[in-house]
Structure 1
């Protein structure tokens, strides 16, 4: 029985990952802690009502260090002496209004959510993760933040988002190297282009498909994924010829 904490669970991939986890038997997933900024939306409330007490919400403002510390205490109480097995850092911001790198003014605010908040929350929950069985942190990365593929994704509208994801990939790698001797797994997962508020309605994948494929990464060999940026695998997309393909391979970052 594993415990999970998913940030940004009000909508999009976060909501769908909570739904997927809640659909698994209690013998596999014991509790899902879903963080939200305010009241739980109807879709999340529905999941909670059907989860027989296995989905619990906590209010989290990831950019408020004091609130992060408070939430870590709440999570400890919820777990009741058990450790946290999996942390999924899903919260992110992106400016979908196209701009160039020379006109970017949101670098600091984007880093605050996409990188600094991940660092602060991971550190706050590290004692609980050390007490867990799986000791796993999944950071939501992105192929658009890959330096190797920078030219391919010049069409992406938000340079600040891309730079922040490049930094997140590096942060993931550093954690993996530093804590692998303790049995930790840190992995960044690129979910591709998804039909969320950020991705828009014409994206490649719907949220349920991308959420399931993202969580499927956790079933892979831990040594194979530790410290890497990993692509999701979606049947029928392994050999796509557009900007994205979803073949489950490692991505250069």
Structure 2
């Protein structure tokens, strides 16, 4: 890819937050590679290239996608699963599915795209975090929705980001776990009506996240922040 533009890869870009990331990154003059799960989602506004049939649960599909991207400055892993469930009604297969998608799937994506990120000097990795995965909030300021297996998997995702930051910072990488907040998406609406009850449209959330992504530096201490730049207690 003989491209001197900044190159961004967005995992999970067919709709909602991922699609808005692609749109705004394109407006910021990035060359954007978008991955989607289904071939029917091959058109993503603003994408320079769309790679379909990419599943977080599949090492093979993620590896094949990464082979099409020789270099990248920014990797955003947006794809995940989440519903309002409880631990006592979740069997082990369901919990493993959460962990395989939200945690191991993120690991698959990072491992697959490390060579592309190492080919450039910016070397930023962004994972979509959430206050639902904060021990502090779970204990001191619990919320009524998105607890259970979703919260467990997101807490594990936060630690995954910490470990990658520790291991890759010496190579000039920045790993940023960032919470998009309550956004008006299909998943966000499971908790109610975001627009009527204080949530944000995707364009507001992504604008704030991109400002934070652009400002973070490799020598910054890793922390979880939200789209407004506010630090979320762990």
Q: Aligning the two structures, in what range does the TM-score lie when normalised by the shorter sequence?
A: 0.7 to 0.9
Q: Structure 1 residue 112 and structure 2 residue 106: aligned? A: no
Distance in 2 (CA, whole Å) between partners of 1:24 and 1:92 is 25
Question: Contact 1:115–1:167 (CA<8 Å) still a contact in 2?
Answer: yes
Hey, what does 1:237 align to over in structure 2? none
Q: Structure 1 residue 103 and structure 2 residue 89: aligned? A: yes
2:111 aligned to 123, 128, 153, which one?
123
| SS of alignment partner, residue 195 of structure 1 | coil
How many Å apart are 1:109 and its aligned residue? Answer: 0.4
| SS of alignment partner, residue 104 of structure 2 | helix
How many Å apart are 1:182 and its aligned residue? Answer: 0.7
Hey, what does 2:34 align to over in structure 1? 34
Question: Contact 1:4–1:87 (CA<8 Å) still a contact in 2?
Answer: yes
| SS of alignment partner, residue 188 of structure 2 | coil
**Bigger Cα displacement from structure 2, 124-133 vs 141-150:** 124-133
Question: Structure 2 length as normaliser, TM-score?
Answer: 0.88
1:43-70 deviation per Cα after TM superposition (whole angstroms, max 9, x unaligned): x73624xxxxx62100111211111111
Structure 2 residue runs of 5 or longer lacking an equivalent are: none
Question: Structure 1 length as normaliser, TM-score?
Answer: 0.82
Q: How many equivalent residue pairs?
A: 220
- What pairs up with 1:115-194 in 2 under 5 angstroms? 115-151=103-139, 152-194=141-183
Hey, what does 2:233 align to over in structure 1? 252
Residues 226 and 14 of structure 1: CA distance in aligned 2, closer, same or farther (over 3 Å) = farther
Hey, what does 1:74 align to over in structure 2? 68
Residues 226 and 33 of structure 1: CA distance in aligned 2, closer, same or farther (over 3 Å) = farther
Distance in 2 (CA, whole Å) between partners of 1:156 and 1:225 is 32
Residues 206 and 182 of structure 1: CA distance in aligned 2, closer, same or farther (over 3 Å) = same
Distance in 1 (CA, whole Å) between partners of 2:43 and 2:114 is 28
Q: Structure 1 residue 47 and structure 2 residue 45: aligned? A: yes
Question: Contact 2:59–2:108 (CA<8 Å) still a contact in 1?
Answer: yes
- 4+ residue runs over 6 A deviation: none
Residues 182 and 167 of structure 1: CA distance in aligned 2, closer, same or farther (over 3 Å) = same
Hey, what does 2:20 align to over in structure 1? 16
1:74-124 deviation per Cα after TM superposition (whole angstroms, max 9, x unaligned): 223xxxxxx21000010000124xx32222232110111100011011011
**Bigger Cα displacement from structure 2, 206-215 vs 139-148:** 206-215
Hey, what does 2:58 align to over in structure 1? 64
| SS of alignment partner, residue 250 of structure 1 | coil
| SS of alignment partner, residue 91 of structure 1 | coil
Distance in 2 (CA, whole Å) between partners of 1:46 and 1:228 is 31
Distance in 2 (CA, whole Å) between partners of 1:117 and 1:40 is 22
Question: Contact 1:186–1:226 (CA<8 Å) still a contact in 2?
Answer: no
Report the aligned-residue RMSD.
1.8
1:126-151 deviation per Cα after TM superposition (whole angstroms, max 9, x unaligned): 11111112100000000111011104
